[in-house]
Homo-oligomer: A and B are copies of this chain.
Amino acid sequence: MSGSPSLEPGAALNAAQIAELVSGQLEGDSEQLFTRVTDLAHAEPQHVVFFRAGADAAGRLPSNEETQAFHDSKAGLALVDDTVEDPGRPCVRVANPSLASAILSRHFEVPQQYAPGVHASAVVANDAQIDAGASIGPLCVVSEGAVIGPGVVLVAQVHVGPGVILGAQTILHPHVSIYERVTLGAGCVVHSGTTVGAPGFGYVWSGERHLQVPQVGGVTIGNGVEIGTNSCIDSGTFQPTEIGDGCILDNHVQVGHNAKLGRAVVLCGKVGISGSTKVGDGAVFGGQAATVGHLKVGAGAKIAARGAIMKDVPPGAVVAGFPAVDIKQHQRDKVRLRRLLRDADKK
């Protein structure tokens, strides 16, 4: 482990350094310095690839094409697990090649760096508190009372509303809008076009018009939360909408007012979490899945793509369909239905 601390981000590594970085066992050796992780088809001798012959976490086996591509790859080093008998080149054995490749790629691919300071074209309120180590890019707006922590990056054209608090190292990409009464923790990433803290969709019919209920609860986002592009996290009514530590949200996701997500929740593209719904730690929603409001989705539950949650989901349940039911029942029902329709066809 002694070498790891001195690895300069982005530096080429030899096989031994790679094995150490990913906590794997080197088999064979190579004088080659490696410069990046890449895919099987495009790898050159100075590149690293990863492969497993057995089933991955989702139970998927590599296709014959993929296996052939692995053997044909020009990569000089492979990250593999024990299911790969003959890697055909020097390799590093690891328990989880995907994870190892991510760790290694994160070493090689150094993110864009941003110089600290406030760009001359940014518009910053007098009483905003901006850490000297923060980078406020061109044409950003930072409103009165905002508190911007060390290492925060507002890439460009970001809007930070009144009183917003941004934790250390959080990065907001162009055209992100943060409304008032929002707190983001440390190490968050919010991508372009996403909005946080706009008022939730709360109206009462007055007899003449839809009267908006003030939404003043704001949003509280934990540490290490990553949100894709053009997503929307709405302000709570009286108390904050909450996103727990380490949640990851894809593009076009909507989290309604008063919703509460636990830790490390995964929301894939176009998911909609309706108002006041609570989602437990580690739950996973597939693309286009949605909930009605005021429900509880238990920790570790998995909602298949386009699943529609109409009632509480127990912890650990795996559900699918509209309305979403246990996925095994859902699949049995599909088979039965197909049989019924086929039989009906014969009559």
Is A139 engaged at the interface, CB distance under 8 Å to the other chain? Answer: yes
Tell me which of B205, B272, B336 contacts A341 (CB under 8 A). B336
> Which chain B residues border A213 with CB–CB below 8 Å?
98, 101-102, 105-106
Given known A159-B174, A239-B42, contact A272–B274 (CB-CB < 8 A): no
> Which chain B residues border A112 with CB–CB below 8 Å?
162, 180
Categorize the interface residue count of chain A. 35 or more
Q: Is B102's CB under 8 angstroms from A159's CB?
A: no
Most buried by B among A198, A237, A290: A198
Most buried by B among A203, A238, A288: A238
Q: Is B232's CB under 8 angstroms from A256's CB?
A: no
Is A119 engaged at the interface, CB distance under 8 Å to the other chain? Answer: yes
Q: Is B203's CB under 8 angstroms from A248's CB?
A: yes
Contact residues of A between 22 and 59, Cβ < 8 Å to B: 37-39, 42, 57
Contact residues of A between 221 and 267, Cβ < 8 Å to B: 224, 226, 228-232, 234, 237-239, 246, 248, 250-252, 254, 256, 264, 266
> Which chain B residues border A61 with CB–CB below 8 Å?
none
Pick the interface stretch among A13-21, A80-88, A128-136, A187-195. A187-195
Is A72 engaged at the interface, CB distance under 8 Å to the other chain? Answer: no
Q: Which 8 A-B pairs have the closest CB atoms?
A: A177-B192, A109-B214, A159-B174, A123-B138, A195-B229, A232-B251, A201-B250, A192-B195
Listed in ascending order, the chain A residues whose CB lies under 8 Å from chain B are: 37-39, 42, 57, 96, 98-99, 101-103, 105-106, 108-109, 111-112, 119, 121, 123, 137-139, 141, 155-157, 159, 162, 173-175, 177, 179-180, 191-195, 198-199, 201, 203-206, 209-214, 216, 224, 226, 228-232, 234, 237-239, 246, 248, 250-252, 254, 256, 264, 266, 268-270, 272, 274, 287-288, 290, 292, 305-306, 308, 322, 332-333, 336-337, 339-341, 344-345
Q: Knowing that A210-B264, A228-B232 are A-B contacts, what are 19 other residue pairs whose CB atoms are under 8 Å apart, sorted by A's residue number?
A: A106-B211, A106-B214, A109-B214, A123-B139, A156-B159, A159-B175, A193-B230, A193-B232, A198-B251, A201-B250, A203-B248, A229-B234, A234-B251, A251-B254, A252-B252, A252-B254, A256-B269, A336-B344, A337-B337
Some 6 contacts from A to B, beta carbons below 8 A apart, are: A39-B238, A96-B204, A156-B159, A175-B177, A191-B199, A336-B345
